[in-house]
Every structure is written in C-alpha cells, then in structure tokens.
C-alpha cells in the first residue's frame, strides 16, 4: 500500500509543481519552468490530440481528481477496519448516548 501511494503521489506532485511554476513563469534559470516551455508543451499535446491547447489543463486536473479518488477509495477499503475502530473510539460513547436520548424522547412522545 505504501508503494501505491508513492507511485501515485510522485507523478501528481511533479506534474502539479511543474504546472504551477511554469504557469507563473518562476523558472529559476531552468528552461522547462518557463512560460514558453509551458505553452510549447501544451501546443504539442494539443496538436497531437487534435484539440485546442487551452482545454488540456482542465482535462488533466479532472483526471487527477478521479485517479486520486480511486486511490483513496482503495486505501479506505484496505484500512476500513482501522477507520471504523478509530471512529468508534472517538465517537462511540457520544453516539451511544445520543441514541439512548433519542430513544427515550421517542418513548415519551408516543405515550398516551
């Protein structure tokens, strides 16, 4: 599970970091972080895919959100027992008290 998260987080971090730095032209002397490289990369992808280059970033962002949701769902599925145990430790006593209070209120309101 650790490797799944590493292999998911590394590309997401690199892509997001490159996009943010190149979009705002914070190049630090590296050509790949310039706005010209940013525009060139998306122009090439747009030409290869046959779509306008400005439509590519929202598509990539949407794909990253969907992929992240799938990864977190897999992690949650694998760790569900630990999550449930943590939830019960944290909210178990409060939930039991509120259920008892609700049941007693329901019994009082149904009295003739």
Q: Is residue 98 part of a domain?
A: no
Report pLDDT for 26. 93
* Long-range residue pairs from 96-101, CB within 8 A, at least 24 positions apart, any chain: none
Token match 């590394």: residue? 10
Q: What residue numbers bound the domain in which 47 lies?
A: 2-57
* Buried b or exposed e, range 64-97, using 16+ CB within 10 angstroms: eeeeeeebeeeeeeeeeeeeeeeeeeeeeeeeee
CA 88, CA 81: separation in Å to the nearest integer? Answer: 10
Report pLDDT for 82. 87
Report pLDDT for 15. 94
Report pLDDT for 94. 67
The number of CA neighbours under 13 Å toward the Cβ of 78 is 9
Report pLDDT for 93. 63
For the chain, which residues score pLDDT lower than 70?
93-112
Closest to 23 measured CA to CA, from 12, 9, 37: 37
Strand boundaries in the chain, DSSP class E: none
Q: How many domains does the chain have?
A: 1
Report pLDDT for 97. 66
Q: Is residue 38 part of a domain?
A: yes
Q: Is residue 75 part of a domain?
A: no
Report pLDDT for 90. 83
Report pLDDT for 86. 84
């Amino acid at each position: 599970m650790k490797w799944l998260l590493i292999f998911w987080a590394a590309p997401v971090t690199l892509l997001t970091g490159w996009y943010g730095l190149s979009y705002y032209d914070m190049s630090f002397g590296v050509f790949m972080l310039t706005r010209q490289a940013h525009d060139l990369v998306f122009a090439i992808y747009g030409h290869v895919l046959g779509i306008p280059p400005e439509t590519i970033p929202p598509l990539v962002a949407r794909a990253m959100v969907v992929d992240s949701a799938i990864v977190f769902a897999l992690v949650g599925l694998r760790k569900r027992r630990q999550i449930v145990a943590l939830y019960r430790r944290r909210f178990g006593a409060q939930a039991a008290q509120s259920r008892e209070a609700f049941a007693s209120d329901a019994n009082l309101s149904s009295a003739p």
